[in-house]
Amino acid sequence: MVILSREIERKFLVDRHPEEFDGLPGRKIRQGYLAVTEGGTEVRVRREGKRHVLTIKEGHGLGRGEDELEITVAQFAALWPLTRGRRIKKTRYRVPHDGRTIEVDVYRGKLKGLTTAEVEFPDEESSSRFQPPAWLGREVTGDEHFRNQDLARHGWPLEAGR
């Protein structure tokens, strides 16, 4: 049995880019899913800049298990073809807000036009106290249509519109 660290995270749609967003450097991310189970466990590979990572996540909603393992460029290259049909491309911006960092993902390719934001917390209490800035739109934490694994497999959620 693998014991994963716990990740507490809230996710939002972004209706308009904040002023704080202007001039921030973005990091291009390519990620693909090797396996996704009905129970929400996922195994993915990600390239972010020069960093290559294999990630295992389990569960749904606010608190999830997560573990990451750095892999080599060669390992990433060997695994990447296995993700065909289950990939996303995005650019990530790190926006400081009230002592926290909001990670804003601007999707590219088949998801162009979709922008989401995620905020991580050390515990559920601080998560419930978080006051989102006005530029964050509807909260989609726990909405399966906006999980990256579902975006990679199914594309644009119908409810998001285009």
Q: Are 102 and 13 in contact (CB under 8 A)?
A: no
Positive or negative CA dihedral for 52, 102, 10, 158? negative
Residues facing residue 45 across a β-bridge: 32, 54
CA 38, CA 77: separation in Å to the nearest integer? 27
CA 64, CA 9: separation in Å to the nearest integer? 8
Residues carrying an active site annotation = 33
User: CA angle at residue 56 from 8 to 153, to 5 degrees?
Assistant: 95
